[in-house]
């Protein structure tokens, strides 16, 4: 069963987002998609644990020497430029190209895209390799959309996600990717349709690598139904947010929230998903 | 006192494994062996914390520039190819060679050995440098034993440890190393004798780097008595598994299990070890 | 308001350390200084989470390609040589030089300075670039002060901080930096004045990267008032130690201490700071 088996366009469907979201999570757990991550040093641990807790199988392989042998066997690829250096970029491009050529979905996390000319140029080169989804915070998506280089607040956003809606739409139109903007409300757009995922808690921003980790989760969700990348992306953002909401009930601060978030993601059942998903047209 | 001070061969001894295991852990706590780890980016944090919690002293030094000065002072070396790249391999080989030449034990974790020709060849080159112990999951040990390249499920095993017994024995005979295969039952063999360590819980597989970390723990145990590498290896696997069993009692999911596992490893006392160790001839 | 707005020299002030410490923490939370970290692979996660929990904004950018664009926008820099390699050193030097030239504070953590000639030489080159603060354990500061290489217990100290007071003073005089020595009592000196920060618990040494993380916290504190680097350093050490003390009340071992420490750092209020700070002239 495909998560979204009806033939209707999203615009025409009854927007049964909670069922759709549960269907994606169930499929990830059932199929355990193999997700290759070429990511930054800070996030590797939490990203791998996020994928494992969701039922996916993470593989952190990052060298050009291995990509021709390994990447053909993956179900989706996640590329994150958080601690980019010139010696990692060629492998990112080779992996993205390999995935694209093989029709496998891949997801780009343009961390701190505007922090330097080097990083912006790297992101622009990666964009040419046709990511399926791009997820960033408001500042990153706006910088990428304008292809502008304005060093801002490091990796933390100085823009709300809603400010970035027009930038996200423009970026989606220009690249053909689904674009997601994390914030108090997460925005997802394919350039025409815009949906908002309203789950999550503010304290998640006080935990490093939560953004990177939800991008990896998006890769896992897209892996099980790449023809519905917008729905997969919104569902992954919602699921991760719900895990944060449930985690916060038991947390006393960012470190215990991080632990309870992962435990909650692992334990999420149908009832919790159906009652918590809040995704709306925007 | 050496952990295993009797002169009898393991085959002839009374297999007092719980006492033996406690003796190894006590020695690690008493001597605090210095364990150099050249490992993957994902596992460094949990691996270092595992060693600290067990009473050992971790050192993550990974460049050829430092090995000639530093490696002569270590008590054991742990090499893990999880995020291997061509610029790290020479240092791994130099460290392994240095350790071998100085008669220091070293342990190899051939993560995802079959994922690429590059990785398999790297593992085969490392094997020539005479590891004291090799620990992997069933898929890794079978791939290494056949020196075959069959990309499988990334870093997660698609084979049970018991399927890999013959491969493990063959690998042990061919290399002179003790070979351990993690799984529902952990298998340890020197090519002739085969023992099974029955501790641990399934949820540990949902935590990234638990396999890497138990390999580091094996290095610490071998460091205090390298003449009994099979006993040290089985004991380390059992101790880590017990920490997982005790941790699971307090856990609500993989992230809290990870925390309680390390706490339990730190707090393990003689009574807990003696009552929980389950190691048997296979 | 500057944390220390009086004109009196520290020697002449009333040493109202608890108020001063609270003032630093409040300023970090209010201004959220951007802290660039070029650090080791083991500590990135805990260091970033420590900075976030304290209210600062971490940025792990480590390549020479980005430093000219990015480093001018930071508020302080933290350099840590824990997993040093020759390909990272030029960027460390470029970032330190850039920070120095722009009058921005930077903090050096000379992890395992005595582990190799390569590492010692790297530290000595970095010293020439005028760090604002140097923080290490007793063995590291003594090795650096003598510029001597004696591979000892890896990254763990074999000397108490109080043994290192004379070395710290000499190093401070030679470099112009404030020098901090972590230990049962943390020592801070500018070469003349010596203060001791008495907070913290022994179990923090069983958590990897706590030393690295407190160095990053020092960078955040110095960022909000670089003219009082000694006070900022002692305050950061005290705050981190208090978080450990409060964390220990809820902890069952090193892993839960790590979690509760970060939660406590995030939640620290004025009353807790005022009642717990123990900083004295030495």
| C-alpha C22: how far from chain center | 17
Supply the pLDDT for residue C159: 74
* Model pLDDT for residues C27-61, shown as the tens digit of each residue: 999 999 999 999 999 999 999 999 999 999 999 99
Supply the pLDDT for residue C10: 46
- Look at B49 and C256 and tell me if their CB atoms are within 8 Å: no
The first and second tokens of residue B53, run together, are 């919690």
pLDDT level of residue A15 (50, 70, 90 thresholds): low
Q: Which residue of C52, C53, C55, C69 is the best one to mutate when testing the A interface, meaning the one whose CB has the most A CBs within 10 A?
A: C69
Architecture category of domain A17-281 in CATH: 3-Layer(aba) Sandwich (3.40)
Average pLDDT over residues B140-152: 76
Contact between B170 and B176 under an 8 Å Cβ cutoff? The reply is no
HEC-encoded secondary structure of A127-187: HCCCCCEEEEEHHHHHHHHHCCCCCCCCCCCCCCHHHHHHHHHHHHHHHCCEEEEECCCEE
Supply the pLDDT for residue A155: 64
Judge residue C64's burial from the number of C-beta atoms within 10 Å of its C-beta, 0-12 exposed, 13-18 middle, 19 or more buried: middle
Contact between C133 and C231 under an 8 Å Cβ cutoff? The reply is no
In angstroms, the CA B54 to CA A110 distance is: 39
- Look at C207 and B58 and tell me if their CB atoms are within 8 Å: no
Distance from CA of C149 to the nearest CA of A (A): 29
- Look at C206 and B266 and tell me if their CB atoms are within 8 Å: yes
Question: B68: nearest CA in chain C?
Answer: C116
Distance from CA of C248 to the nearest CA of B (A): 12
- Option in C86, C154, C252 nearest B263 (CB): C252
Nearest to B69 by CA among C112, A63, A247: C112
- Look at C118 and B258 and tell me if their CB atoms are within 8 Å: no
Q: At B38, phi and psi to the nearest 5?
A: -115, 100
Interface of B with A (CB under 8 A): 40-42, 45-46, 82-87, 112, 115-119, 149, 151, 153-156, 205-209, 251-256, 258-259
Average pLDDT over residues B230-234: 98
Nearest to B220 by CA among B234, B236, B231: B236
* Model pLDDT for residues C248-268, shown as the tens digit of each residue: 999 999 999 999 999 999 999
Supply the pLDDT for residue A9: 43
pLDDT at A152 over 80: no
CA distances from C245 to C26, C199, C277, C280 (A): 20, 7, 11, 18
Distance from CA of B82 to the nearest CA of A (A): 8
Supply the pLDDT for residue C161: 73
- Look at B69 and C149 and tell me if their CB atoms are within 8 Å: yes
pLDDT level of residue B161 (50, 70, 90 thresholds): confident
What value does the mean pLDDT of chain A take?
92
- Look at C118 and B262 and tell me if their CB atoms are within 8 Å: no
- Look at C48 and A208 and tell me if their CB atoms are within 8 Å: yes
* Model pLDDT for residues A92-113, shown as the tens digit of each residue: 999 999 999 999 999 999 999 9
Q: Which residue of A28, A62, A70, A83 is the best one to mutate when testing the B interface, meaning the one whose CB has the most B CBs within 10 A?
A: A70
* Other chains touching B, judged by 3 or more CB pairs under 8 Å: A, C
* β-pair type (C194-197, C279-281): antiparallel
Q: Which residue of B154, B212, B261 is the best one to mutate when testing the A interface, meaning the one whose CB has the most A CBs within 10 A?
A: B154
Question: C156: nearest CA in chain B?
Answer: B57
- Look at A42 and C57 and tell me if their CB atoms are within 8 Å: no
- Angle at Cα C127 formed by Cα C126 and Cα C128, nearest 5°? 90
Average pLDDT over residues C85-112: 97
The residue extents of the domains of chain C are 17-281
What percentage of residues in chain C have a pLDDT greater than 70?
91
- Look at C59 and A84 and tell me if their CB atoms are within 8 Å: no
- Look at A59 and B117 and tell me if their CB atoms are within 8 Å: no
Average pLDDT over residues B36-50: 98
Average pLDDT over residues A185-207: 97
- Look at A155 and C58 and tell me if their CB atoms are within 8 Å: yes
Distance from CA of A52 to the nearest CA of B (A): 5
Supply the pLDDT for residue B155: 65
Interface of A with B (CB under 8 A): 34, 36, 41, 44-45, 48-49, 52-53, 57-63, 65-66, 68-70, 72-74, 87, 258-267
Distance from CA of A65 to the nearest CA of B (A): 6
- Option in C116, C152, C255 nearest B263 (CB): C255
pLDDT at C160 over 60: yes
Supply the pLDDT for residue A11: 43
pLDDT at A178 over 70: yes
Supply the pLDDT for residue C154: 60
Q: Which residue of B262, B267, B268 is the best one to mutate when testing the C interface, meaning the one whose CB has the most C CBs within 10 A?
A: B262
- Residue C281 pairs in a beta bridge with C195
pLDDT at A177 over 50: yes
* Model pLDDT for residues A265-279, shown as the tens digit of each residue: 999 999 999 999 999
pLDDT at B162 over 90: no
The first and second tokens of residue B85, run together, are 């790249």
CB contacts, 8 Å: C65 with chain A: 85-86, 116, 118
Nearest to A86 by CA among A42, A40, A122: A122
Architecture category of domain B14-281 in CATH: 3-Layer(aba) Sandwich (3.40)
- Option in B45, B46, B256 nearest A259 (CB): B256
CB contacts, 8 Å: C61 with chain A: 83, 112, 115-116, 154
Question: C151: nearest CA in chain B?
Answer: B70
pLDDT level of residue B149 (50, 70, 90 thresholds): very low
- Option in B116, B149, B252 nearest A263 (CB): B252
Q: What is the ipTM of this complex?
A: 0.92
pLDDT at B63 over 90: yes
In angstroms, the CA A127 to CA A96 distance is: 10
Nearest to B234 by CA among B222, B247, B248: B222
pLDDT at A137 over 50: yes
pLDDT level of residue B9 (50, 70, 90 thresholds): very low
Question: C267: nearest CA in chain A?
Answer: A253
- Option in C41, C52, C65 nearest A206 (CB): C52
* Model pLDDT for residues C127-136, shown as the tens digit of each residue: 999 999 999 9
Supply the pLDDT for residue C151: 57
Supply the pLDDT for residue A153: 55
In angstroms, the CA A190 to CA A196 distance is: 12
pLDDT at A202 over 50: yes
What value does the mean pLDDT of chain B take?
92
The first and second tokens of residue B199, run together, are 């501790």
What percentage of residues in chain B have a pLDDT greater than 70?
91
CB contacts, 8 Å: A263 with chain B: 251-256
- Look at B153 and A62 and tell me if their CB atoms are within 8 Å: no
* Other chains touching A, judged by 3 or more CB pairs under 8 Å: B, C
pLDDT at A66 over 60: yes
- Look at C45 and A40 and tell me if their CB atoms are within 8 Å: no
CB contacts, 8 Å: C39 with chain B: none
Supply the pLDDT for residue B15: 55
* Model pLDDT for residues C140-159, shown as the tens digit of each residue: 999 999 986 665 556 666 67
Higher-scoring residue by pLDDT: C100, A148: C100
Average pLDDT over residues B83-110: 97
In angstroms, the CA C107 to CA C38 distance is: 11
- Option in A45, A86, A206 nearest C266 (CB): A206
- Look at A154 and C63 and tell me if their CB atoms are within 8 Å: no
Which residue has tokens 């700071």? C273
Q: Which residue of C65, C250, C267 is the best one to mutate when testing the A interface, meaning the one whose CB has the most A CBs within 10 A?
A: C65
Q: Which are the contacts of A7, defined by CB distance < 8 A and separation ≥ 6? A: none
Q: How crowded is the C-beta side of A49, counted as CA atoms within 13 Å?
A: 29
- Option in B40, B154, B253 nearest A34 (CB): B154
pLDDT at C8 over 50: no
Q: At C277, phi and psi to the nearest 5?
A: -60, 125
Q: Which residue of B49, B51, B265, B268 is the best one to mutate when testing the C interface, meaning the one whose CB has the most C CBs within 10 A?
A: B49
Nearest to A172 by CA among A145, A196, A150: A145
């Amino acid at each position: 069963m495909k998560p979204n088996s009806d033939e209707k366009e999203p615009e025409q469907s009854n927007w049964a987002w909670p069922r759709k979201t549960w269907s994606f999570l169930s499929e990830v757990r059932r199929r355990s998609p193999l997700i290759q991550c070429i990511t930054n040093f800070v996030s590797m641990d939490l990203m791998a644990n996020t994928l494992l807790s969701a039922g996916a199988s993470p593989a952190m392989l990052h060298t050009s020497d291995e990509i021709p042998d390994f990447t053909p066997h993956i179900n989706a690829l996640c590329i994150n430029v958080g601690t980019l250096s010139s010696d990692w970029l060629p492998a990112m491009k080779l992996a993205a190209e390999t995935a694209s050529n093989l029709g496998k979905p891949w997801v780009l996390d343009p961390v701190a895209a505007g922090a330097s000319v080097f990083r912006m140029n790297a992101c622009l080169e990666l964009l040419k390799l046709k990511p399926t989804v791009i997820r960033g915070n408001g500042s990153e998506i706006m910088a990428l959309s304008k292809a502008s280089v304005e060093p801002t607040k490091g990796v933390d956003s100085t823009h709300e996600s809603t400010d970035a809606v027009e930038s996200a739409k423009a970026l989606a139109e220009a690249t053909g990717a689904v674009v997601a903007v994390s914030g108090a409300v997460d925005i997802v757009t394919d350039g025409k349709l815009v949906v908002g995922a309203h789950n999550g808690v503010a304290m998640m921003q006080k935990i490093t690598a939560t953004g990177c980790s939800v991008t990896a989760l998006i890769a896992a969700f897209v892996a099980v139904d790449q023809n519905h990348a917008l729905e997969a992306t919104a569902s992954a953002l919602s699921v991760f947010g719900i895990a944060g909401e449930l985690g916060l009930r038991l947390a006393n601060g960012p470190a215990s929230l991080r632990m309870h978030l992962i435990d909650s993601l692992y334990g999420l059942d149908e009832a919790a998903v159906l009652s918590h998903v809040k995704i709306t047209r925007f």
